[in-house]
Amino acid sequence: MKAYERLLKYAVVRTPSDDDNSSTVPSSACQFDLARLLEQEMKELGLSDVRLDDKCFVYGRLPATPGLEDAPALGFIAHMDTVADFCDHEIRPVITKNYDGGDLALGDSGLILSPDDFGHLKELAGRTLITSDGTTILGADDKAGIAEILTMIEDIQRDKIPHGTICVAFTPDEEVGTGASQFDVESFGADYAYTLDGDTEGEIQFENFNACKAQFDVKGFNVHPGSGKDTMINASLVAMEINSLLPGMETSRGTEGYEGFYHLMSMSGECAKAQLNYIVRDHNKNFFEARKHTLRLIEKNLNEKWGEGTVTLTITDQYKNMDEIIADCMHLIDNAKTACENAGVTPIVLPIRGGTDGCQLSFRGLPCPNLGTGGHAYHGPYEHITVEGMDKSVAVITELVKLYAR
């Protein structure tokens, strides 16, 4: 089976994780629907030690070719959940053969996938493009990674490619940042691993953001507006003031590469109370701490201005930059570059403007950089991927298996 055929099968199984209304792992029971499907498929592919645990992690292993038992055990990991946005009804993948690189109507949604918005589309001309119908996400993040890993497993067995032990795992709740904390690193059994959770085929990533969530709760003082002179404290206006004190260009729209940002995720408010929810990101550890200091300074100054207890800031750390771990095993990056070249793919080493399960796993003793899957425009209805990009990603990880077997 080709990788894209697997993606089409997985994409229609809706698996949105739930960051708002759940404190369990998995955060949504629907993730078990895909997990059970994958458990069965892994058994059919001949993997051993296949198991689905009560936290919705699926594990399996392909034993080493005789004589290669001492080769490093190599892991491949992808996540089953998707974002909840644009995932509230049936997902209908759409295949466009011989895409012309220009504007493409996404079903009857009224949305247009355009190179004016996504410049790389011109480079995809001539390929077979997979999208949704424009009313949902596609789910290539990260079901493409799952499809590519299992296709690689099928290919190396069919072609009798010598290999060391290959460890496979599919995880829940990556999108809400909680899944990897429950990952069973010891029983997984890999010496090193790669997540397949990136974008363009050939991407190699081992530097990610330091990340936290920041929540401002604002308590107002509500009286009749006709008698509010020097008395009323409008919580919504204070919330607007908080946002105005942040650097205006340090948003996700205004930054790139290694530049960090403050991103306002949601806001709510009335006169008596208001709330702002941000995510804060920076690759540089010192810059990241400076960003948190800025938030605390805003809390301090506004409480001095409006009265103690008016503004309450809660900062929750999420993950750290794994580059300090990968720095001690750069063979993972060197071999990934070589694997790309052997597969006829240009290696693209760049920082992750986000995070992956590999961030947490690296700090838990499993060095785990990230590789591209061939997908683009994740987390929204413009998400797309190509058949050819998926095939190239399969070729890259197959070449990695060969390298570590040597």
The neighbouring-strand residues paired with 204 are 349, 371
Which pairing describes strands 166-171 and 74-79: parallel, antiparallel, or unpaired?
Answer: parallel
- 45: helix, coil or strand? coil
Contacts of 352 (CB under 8 A, 6+ apart): 198, 205, 207, 208, 209, 370
Per DSSP, the residues of 14-31 read --B--SSS--SSSSSTTH
Question: H or E segment at 75?
Answer: strand 74-79
User: Low-confidence residues of the chain, pLDDT below 50?
Assistant: none
Helix, strand, coil share of the chain (percent; to 5): 35, 25, 45
What pLDDT score was predicted for residue 176? 87
pLDDT in tens, 266-303: 999 999 999 999 999 999 999 999 999 999 999 999 99
Token pair in block for residue 134: 């424009």
DSSP 24: S
Q: Which pTM does this prediction carry? A: 0.89
Which pairing describes strands 129-131 and 112-113: parallel, antiparallel, or unpaired?
Answer: unpaired
HSE-CB at 105 with a 13 A cutoff on CA atoms is 4
**280, 246 contact by CB (below 8 A):** no
**147, 6 contact by CB (below 8 A):** yes
The neighbouring-strand residues paired with 169 are 59, 77
- 250: helix, coil or strand? coil
What pLDDT score was predicted for residue 259? 95
Cβ atoms < 10 Å from Cβ of 295: 20
pLDDT in tens, 90-108: 999 999 999 999 999 999 9
What pLDDT score was predicted for residue 23? 78
Catalytic annotation, residues: 81, 174
Euclidean distance between CA atoms 135 and 114, whole angstroms: 16
First to last CA, the chain: 27
What pLDDT score was predicted for residue 364? 94
